[in-house]
Amino acid sequence: MTRRLDATESGIATAASILRAGGLVAFGTETVYGLGADASQPEAVARIFEAKNRPRFNPLISHFAHAQAAFAQVVPNPLALRLAQTFWPGPLTLILPRAPGCIISDLAADGLSSLAVRVPANEVARALLELVDRPIAAPSANRSGRISPVDAAHVLEELDGRIDAVLDSGPCTVGLESTVVDLTDPQNPCLLRPGGVTLEELQAICPQISLPQTTHDVAPHSPGRMISHYAPHLPVRLDALHVQADEALLAFGAPRATQAPLVWNLSTSGNLEEAAARLFTGLRTLDQEGQALGLSRIAVQPIPQYGLGRAIQDRLNRAAAPRPQNGTQGSIP
């Protein structure tokens, strides 16, 4: 059985003691719910992969209460310090070389010499991290390849009975995973995954940042960027200007007269922050209710390609990518 813990002092204390004992606790961050384990205990990290059914070759992000704790595990450079100062706590993950004496297990880092670190903004998450006082490895708390959870009920839909507890801090405010920036070569910072911090915001600090390459180029470097990901059961059709009678509609912007039997509007006012926060719940809802209604696809209206629109489109592209036949995620070339 998976315990549901309230975000009270005693709930947070229980969550912290489960994590210190090597157990698995899902917890809310501002981006999505993470499935946490003590990153310094390889057996605990192994349980994450088991619970998620995740291929072993994905390195995980380690979470910390403060930048100082993060920079004890990796070697920062001046750009990393500036980005951390500007965006932490918040939805930004930095990839940096491991520090000498780093306690994060090789399994959490998938044996790489670099590490992904982040300080989340959610106050409950930070209180938990503070109390545990260890790096907490946490991928999104969904089964591998599926839609990331943005509230505690989604976590239980995915992982009930497979993890020790979920710490319920309510719905996630950002709703999209963190932006991942590779800073291992400080002369050549590189955006690996668009996310809650936008490209425009990064460019204000770091104009030389290189843009996401194609998923094919990035995949070997950042294995979590698998092509088919965030996959609902129903197929997804992108950039739909018209919707068909057998399609559920993921809409964006002013509602139009539509034949669609099922509609989820990401933001009727065209606000990209609202759209990001409503994306994963929308996909999950259209998928479940669409299947119940016997619909055959989810059609998605075009999303503007600036600000958070890029990260939203990235997730939609992967939700729409061809599914592998063998039940695993998209292949890494």
Cβ atoms 311, 275 nearer than 8 A = no
CB of 5 to ligand TXA, least distance (A): 17
Interaction residues for ligand TXA, span 10-39 (CB under 6 A): 29, 31-32, 34
What are the helix and strand counts (H, E) for the chain? 10, 14
Rank residues 2 and 140 by Cβ distance to Mg ion and give the closer one: 140
Among 73, 93, 140, 198, binds Mg ion (CB under 5 A): 140
Ramachandran angles phi, psi of 270, nearest 5°: 75, 30
- Please give the angle made by the CA atoms of 294, 154 and 247, to the nearest 5 degrees: 25
Rank residues 140 and 281 by Cβ distance to Mg ion and give the closer one: 140
- DSSP 8-state code for residue 138: -
Binds 330: which of Mg ion, ligand TXA, none (CB < 5-8 Å by kind): none
CB of 141 to ligand TXA, least distance (A): 7
Q: Going by DSSP bridges, is the β-strand pair 114-118/92-97 parallel, antiparallel, or unpaired? A: antiparallel
Cα atoms in the 13 Å half-sphere on the side-chain side of 86: 17
Rank residues 60 and 102 by Cβ distance to Mg ion and give the closer one: 60
Among 114, 122, 144, 215, binds ligand TXA (CB under 6 A): 114
3-state SS, residue 276: helix
CB of 140 to Mg ion, least distance (A): 3
Q: Binding string, 169-208, against ligand TXA, x = CB under 6 A?
A: --------xx-x-----------xx---------------
Binds 321: which of ligand TXA, Mg ion, none (CB < 5-8 Å by kind): none
75 near ligand TXA (CB under 6 A): no
Cβ atoms 239, 300 nearer than 8 A = yes
Cα(196)–Cα(175) distance, integer angstroms: 8
Rank residues 140 and 267 by Cβ distance to Mg ion and give the closer one: 140
Cβ atoms 312, 275 nearer than 8 A = yes
Cβ atoms 105, 50 nearer than 8 A = no
Q: Which residues bind ligand TXA (CB under 6 A)?
A: 29, 31-32, 34, 58-61, 91, 93, 95, 112, 114-116, 118, 138-140, 177-178, 180, 192-193, 221-225
Residues at the interface with Mg ion (CB under 5 A): 140
